[in-house]
Amino acid sequence: MIIPVIDLKNGEAVSGKSGMRETYKPLKTIFSQSSDAVEIAKSLKAAGAKRMYIADLDSIEGEGSNLQIVKKVNEIIPVMLDAGANNVQRVEKFLKFADKVIIATETLKTLKSLDEIFKSFKRDELVLSIDIKNNELLARDMDTDLNTLVNKIKDLKPPEIILLDISRVGTESGVNNAIINKFEAFKSSIIMGGGILEENIEELSGKGVHKFLVGSALHSGRIRSMF
């Protein structure tokens, strides 16, 4: 299953590479003549998409938000939202706008906060995102590593785990197999993201990974819409 990705910044869908958010530009997509997220969502639903991944870059960076746009999109197609949820209060807030809230290591403060979040909400309302950059865990505020996180996941047993290689976002360069191998034990829960190509989908599906976040390659038409 392909889960379409859009990033929101200053009220519109944007695109860029490798997480360099200051360089992001309005999204050009085969699904709409504009970068209007609502219009893109309507087109994606018509094409068969079952849900969407939205990153609210303004909210993640603490520079406002695009939550009203997220809410409109969520009325069209269920949204899994990354908006910088790092505590119970923020998760509760974001669930008013989206179907599921993503808890991302990039913005998570402590592993204790992760425990508190998973104890406070239904498991199917949460998605854990393991953010990777340059083959290292991306965790701006946490003093932890991938091995520690793997052990934590064994305890939490999240139903869905995003493996997002931010270094490869927007590059269409293929997946990071080394990261996938580290999370082999959770492959039935994995949603793979970052540089996804069509051949990666075919290869990983044969290994038990069946969900993929796809942005650039989908919007450019390089990957067919396998929703």
Predicted local distance difference test score (pLDDT) of residue 135: 81
Domains of the chain: 2-219 (3.20.20.70)
pLDDT tens by residue, 101-152: 999 999 999 999 999 999 999 999 999 999 988 888 888 888 888 888 989 9
Higher-pLDDT residue of 173 and 141 is 141
Alpha-carbon dihedral 48, 33, 76, 46, rounded to 10 degrees: -20
Look up residue 87 and give its amino acid: N
pLDDT tens by residue, 79-97: 999 999 999 999 999 999 9
Task: Give the relative orientation of helices 67-74 and 37-47 as an angle to the nearest 10 degrees.
Answer: 20
